[in-house]
Amino acid sequence: MLRTSPAPRHLKRRPNPAAGAITSPRLMAGVGVAVTVPTGAATVLAPAAEAAAPTAAPAATPKAAPKAAPSVIRTPAAQNIVWLSFGSEGELVKTLQQRLGGLVVDGSFGPATQSRLMSYQASKNLYVDGRVGPVTWAALGGFPGKAGEGKVCRVSTLRFGSTGELVRTAQQRLGGLSVDGSFGPATLARVRAYQASKSLPVTGTVDSATWRALDGFPCVGTGGPTTGTGATTTPGTTTTDTTGPVTPSVGDPSGPYRMPWAKGGTFKITQGPGGSWSHHTSYNRHGIDFGMPVGTPIVASRAGVVQDTGYTSMGGGMYVRIKDASGACQVYFHLSAYRVVAGQPIAQGQPIATSGNTGNSSGPHLHFGLIDCNTWRSHSLPNSVERGTNYTSGVFVTSTNG
């Protein structure tokens, strides 16, 4: 979603000669930040991939084509697969750890298990999301339970002229687009660039192969969301029963925050609240900047529900906002990618995005803070376990989040 409402402005744009060539915010994709993990939901494309997309000139704009007959893929029955993710616990996690190898088999899905899992997914050319679903279970020798009956998932192909919720889902996952549900020239260019970056046939249509690369077609059946190859769920739901936090409680309004990256990581505060560089207006006076490399995994500082995600042209670049029980919104600016959708419940410590250098930014970093969900004005300082409300510039902070 493209945001033009007020958001924290960072005064100095990072040097990028190519940025001047982007004239429409709708075509901005995080100002060309390459993600250091395989792309998934709403991942930003690298500049080279963007350059591969032909300019959507009026004379070259294709005519809207009639809707093609949906292709069919057979998927495992969702109710027979238990998904595991960061925070899960129990016997299934022990089974996972045993099969992955090189881990303490303690039944707790923490940072070490997630890191080992992501390495395994990469080695098997699977979608690297740090979660164990049908495809990863299959690669690990199968889910340790009774196999169920298959069910049919009909995959709709999207093309120029398509409209509706499926287009919104595709735009959300492609990233860098106005999520308006209309498959126009900008979406066409983004699809082509994404297909080129994934070595897919550059057709400009979102077909079965492209849906699969985009983390799967959002199949929904009568028995609940079904899963395909790397499939995701409908917004705000989970795929199946899980052993981890499914619908986490928003929690105590006075509960503590934690640093927005995985436990054990240490990063420097490059600008604290009230900083003279860019944290001195009503929109960002409580903001905190942490210097970190592009692609650093970002986790939720506190449990809540995703308010929205998108790209703001007012300086913050790609962002995620999470509303927690305090009534304020946690905001994460300058991201390179995000992996959550509006309305999705989020647990503290759950991976939500990767850091970047998008928007008005003088270098790779994460801008984190609490803002008013309606006005975007700075709300208050997060009272964290690690620092309380003291965020002095130049201080190194080690996270306990996880």
pLDDT at residue 146, as a whole number: 42
303 falls within a domain: yes
* Residue 128, domain member (yes or no): yes
* Residue 392 and residue 270 share a domain: yes
Average pLDDT of the segment spanning 103-122 = 86
Q: Tens of pLDDT along 132-155?
A: 888 888 888 777 764 333 344 567
The answer to whether position 100 is within a domain reads yes
Q: Is residue 130 part of a domain?
A: yes
**What is the tens place of the pLDDT at every residue in 159-189?**
888 888 889 888 988 988 988 989 998 999 9
Query: Is the residue at 295 inside a domain?
Result: yes
Q: Which residue has the tokens 């082509």?
A: 192
Is pTM beyond 0.75? Reply is no
Q: What is the full DSSP assignment across 48-107?
A: HHHHTSPP--GGGPPPPPPPPPPEEEEE--GGG--BB-TT-BSHHHHHHHHHH-SS--SS
Q: Which two tokens stand for residue 346?
A: 């989020």
Smallest Cα–Cα separation from 231: which of 309, 157, 336, 136? 136
Indicate whether 39 belongs to any domain.
Answer: no
Instruction: Report how many domains make up the chain.
Output: 3
The reply to whether 18 falls in a domain is: no
| CATH number of the domain residue 297 falls in | 2.70.70.10
Residue 150 lies in a domain: no
